[in-house]
Structure 1
Amino acid sequence: MSAPPAFLRDRMRALERLPAYVYDLDGLGENVAAVRGALAGGPELFYAAKANPDPAILRTLAPHVDGIEVASGGELAHVRATLPEARIAFGGPGKTDEELALASNLDVERLHVESPYELERLAASERPADVLLRANLRFGTTGAALQMSGPFGMDEQALSRCAAVLRDTPHLTLRGVHAHLASGLDAPAMLDLAARITDWALPWLRANGVEEPEINLGGGMAVDYEAPESRFDWKAYAAGLPAHPSVTFRVEPGRALTAYHGWYVTEVLDVKTTHGEHYAVLRGGTHHLRTPVTKGHDQPFTLLTADDTDDTGDTHPTTLVGQLCTPKDVFARDAPCPRLRPGDLIAFGMAGAYAWNISHHDFLMHPHPHFSYPARV
């Protein structure tokens, strides 16, 4: 179960429109301030906007982060309009000429170059830019939820090609490397990866004339949907990073900052038993909250009306599904629930990242969800 704070439960029961995303901006601000405090004196903290670019989320994070990382021209324009003064780093494969021009026009601080061809087009544009070269290094990691494979970044041969281009292109300045290699790692695994990246990067950068290098370690800090109460150990991570006074380290978490502070609230439309299995059909579906389908897990939830629905305390394995015409429209399978009835309210937790913004919004053309930002009183 993933229970929202008491003040949010009251607001959720009073929502006029369902489904609704409910964001706890106060809680988010406290969380990112604590992360910022844990990293004090350590790496720069950029937020990966891809996790959740909601303007209210961005504005809540802005006072506590050093900048924002974007991965498309659309994200870049959105973040710049929302946070006009923010430092911005622009990464991601397949940048178009239009996006490279936009990076210059909208004052991107760091451009993460993903391939020699991308760098050659940037050089030909004659626009000045400070760049990090994204490295795709053969460093094996165990326990990763995702390994960032071939489309992302460059091997050492391609990096050497880029270094040669940069030596002959005075309007481009090599500032360092970006090496986000895996996601879903705990602090010890992230530190092991950071040490190996640093041991490779420093000699390579200094051999290519970078005296005060930047090393962007990316994001990928673990978020456990089966244990929402567990958190990444930011203090241990900051304390364990390599000590190099002349090096600027940077991290770009997204999910690990915002996942805990969003809920998707909806209602039971129908309850049925088919071949002995119990199902609850909910308003909305994975076209609003694609996270469980994408990650292959059961989305944690709490039944807001539990006290009113089942006086016996008995639970029944129930599969929670949405309204879509596909058997993949599943939030949770065989979850222990009180006996549900139409009208019961359910709040899915851990919905503050890669939720609405990663979903296929208009499949079957159901209404979009409402968004609510209740403040504590």
Structure 2
Amino acid sequence: MNPKVKEWIHVLQEQSSEPLCAYIYDLEGLQKHVQGIIKALPVSTSLFYAIKANPDPKMIQALLPLVRGFEVASIGELNKVREVSESVPILFGGPGKKDDELEMAIRKKVTYLHIESLLELKKVIRLAKREQQPTQVLLRMNLRTNTLPHTKITMGGRPSPFGMDEYLIEDALSLLKEKENTHAHLCGFHFHSLSNNLQAALHVEMIHYYLQKVDEWKKRYGLDIQVINAGGGFGVSYDDTPEFDWECFTSLLAQSEQVQSLGNTQLFFEPGRFLVADYGYYVAEVIDLKLSQDQYFAIIRGGTHHNRLPASWGHNHPFCIVPQERWLYPFERPEITKKGVTIVGELCTPKDCLHSNALVERLRVGDTLIFKKSGAYCWTISHHDFLGHPHPKFYYITEGNHDEKSNDSFQILNG
């Protein structure tokens, strides 16, 4: 964690009498992290950022000069990227694209359109011809296999709303070869079978399986394949499980004969969580401590309406405590020492829990909690307006501004 995060927290609390509740995004750290990721990639591979993990415009802007492009899953996300850049390459995925979304994607010249069904392919062929716009498509395939790594979220290798079963490939190719199709061009295949995989070696095996299948299809159907999009799914650990070993992953890829023999075919990756999770922090002040039937509860200014990930995934979100000495009341300050405490939010529901029975050395009302790994799938998946509590504020660490202590140094965007 960037040590400046804690310094900022002290400054922010000193400047306001309201309980602190904010997101802090370390854009400087994020850029260094992604530079290292890209540097380790072997030849013929490219990195895209899946903005569903965090579509904050400042994150998109920070990654713009580093990644090959962005993956989006809606017109809303497409517009967010185009507001930052009119020319950066875009991959457009998602299983439920509506007619106006497909039309807009074609008009805005997305680089590759992921096709999720035969019906969607028929619509794209028709719209591309009507718009007289050459449209490059990647067929998203759901492979029939039991060799995928096991994760909490699986989107392939089993019955799924995502992609087309591989037995439909001949039907898809037939549609693309029909004389009515004048503007939709097959450029390759898209695979995205799982999310948050922590096993680097198994991830390589999965990619080898993708490459094997594409090689079979190339030979069987005489295909010229320019792109194989292997998706994302690189995991982030929220407990003591070892993190995804990127160095191991890229080393195994570089040694792979299948990767080395790609020739002019490009291998794409489109991670989201793996890029940004560690560079966002959700910070919330403790506003009450209470004991109920032998269980301590710490109530924070905030909760799952700001950071729904722990409730959604059913995990205890990692956090640390930043002690604050300010106490403005004439009565005793509540505190606990060496106790187990459950961290809950301000909502009127028992589901508003971010960490159960955490052992703390010392915790007081007025101290601030930093929930680490809050850069991905935390703010944007949350039910922001439930009960009408104010949104958190947003702060950004960028190169050159994080050593300052005045509020003028902060780039602030109100939630």
TM-score range, shorter chain: over 0.9
Equivalent in the alignment of 2:330: none
Deviates more, 1:325-334 or 1:78-87: 78-87
Q: Secondary structure at the match of 1:47?
A: strand
Contact 1:13 1:345 in 2 (8 A): no
In 2, the alpha carbon distance for the partners of 1:294 and 1:26 equals 29
Query: What count of residue pairs does the alignment treat as equivalent?
Result: 373
- 1:207: Cα distance to partner? 3.5
CA deviations over 1:224-267 (Å, ceiling 9, x no partner): 11149834324335425532223211000000000000000110
TM-score by length of 1: 0.94
1:319 aligns to what?
Answer: 342
Residue type of the alignment partner of 1:102: M
Displacement, 1:41? 1.8
Tell me, what secondary structure is at the counterpart of 2:384? coil
Does the C-alpha gap of structure 1 residues 306 and 369 become closer, same or farther in structure 2, counting only changes over 3 Å? closer
2:42·2:254 contact (CA, 8 Å) conserved in 1? no
1:146 pairs with one of 150, 153, 171: 153
**CA–CA separation in structure 1 for the residues paired with 2:304 and 2:228:** 37
**Greater Cα shift, 219-228 or 27-36:** 219-228
Shift of 1:341: 2.2
Partner of 1:135: 141
Q: 1:232 to 1:63 in 2, by over 3 A?
A: farther
Larger Rg: 2
State which of 318, 321, 345 in structure 2 corresponds to 1:303: 321
Which segment is superposed worse, 180-189 or 300-309? 300-309
Is contact 1:191-1:240 (8 Å) kept? no
Q: Contact 1:38 / 1:238 at 8 angstroms: preserved in 2?
A: no
Pick closer, same or farther for the CA change 1:216–1:123 going to 2, 3 Å. Answer: same
- Amino acid corresponding to residue 236 of structure 2 in structure 1: V
Shift of 1:306: 7.4
After TM superposition, give the deviation of residue 159 of structure 1 in Å.
Answer: 2.4
Could you tell me which amino acid in structure 2 is paired with residue 143 of structure 1?
H
Q: Alignment RMSD, CA only?
A: 2.1
Instruction: Please name the residue that 2:274 is paired with.
Output: 256
Q: Which amino acid aligns with 1:11?
A: W
Answer with 183-192 or 224-233: which moved more: 224-233
Q: Partners in 1 of 2:337 and 2:253 — Cα distance?
A: 45
- Which runs of 4 or more aligned residues in structure 1 lie more than 3 Å from their structure 2 counterparts after TM superposition? 205-209, 227-232, 306-310
Q: Distance in 2 between matches of 1:118 and 1:290?
A: 32
Comparing 343-352 with 13-22, greater Cα deviation is found at: 13-22
Equivalent positions of 1:264-343 (< 5 A) are 264-305=282-323, 314-343=337-366
Offset of residue 163 of structure 1: 0.9
TM-score, normalization: structure 2?
0.85
Q: 2: distance between equivalents of 1:290 and 1:224? A: 17
Partners of 2:188 and 2:325 lie apart in 1 by 56
Residues 318-343 of structure 1: CA deviation (Å, up to 9, x unaligned): 00000111111111000111342221
The one-letter code sitting in structure 2 at the alignment partner of 1:187 is A
Matched, 1:178 2:190: yes
Deviation per CA, 1:47-70: give whole Å up to 9, x if none.
Answer: 001000101111111111101000
- Identify the residue that residue 80 of structure 2 maps to in structure 1: 78
Q: Which ranges in structure 1 are unaligned for 5 or more consecutive residues?
A: none
Matched, 1:31 2:39: no
| Structure 2 residue 158 is matched with structure 1 residue 156 | no
1:11 paired residue among 5, 8, 13 = 8
1:166 corresponds, among 151, 154, 176, to 176
Contact 1:183/1:221, CA 8 A, preserved across alignment:
yes
2:319 and 2:372 in contact (8 A); partners too? yes
Q: Percent identity?
A: 39
Q: 1:116, 1:159 within 8 Å by CA — same for their partners in 2?
A: no
| One-letter code aligned to 1:69 | E
Unaligned runs of 5+ in 2: 328-332, 404-415
Secondary structure class of the residue paired with 2:62: helix
Query: 1:106 & 1:93 partners in 2: Cα distance?
Result: 19
Tell me, yes or no, if the aligned pair for 2:93 and 2:115 is still in contact at 8 Å: yes
Cα distance in 1 for residues equivalent to 2:76 and 2:252:
32
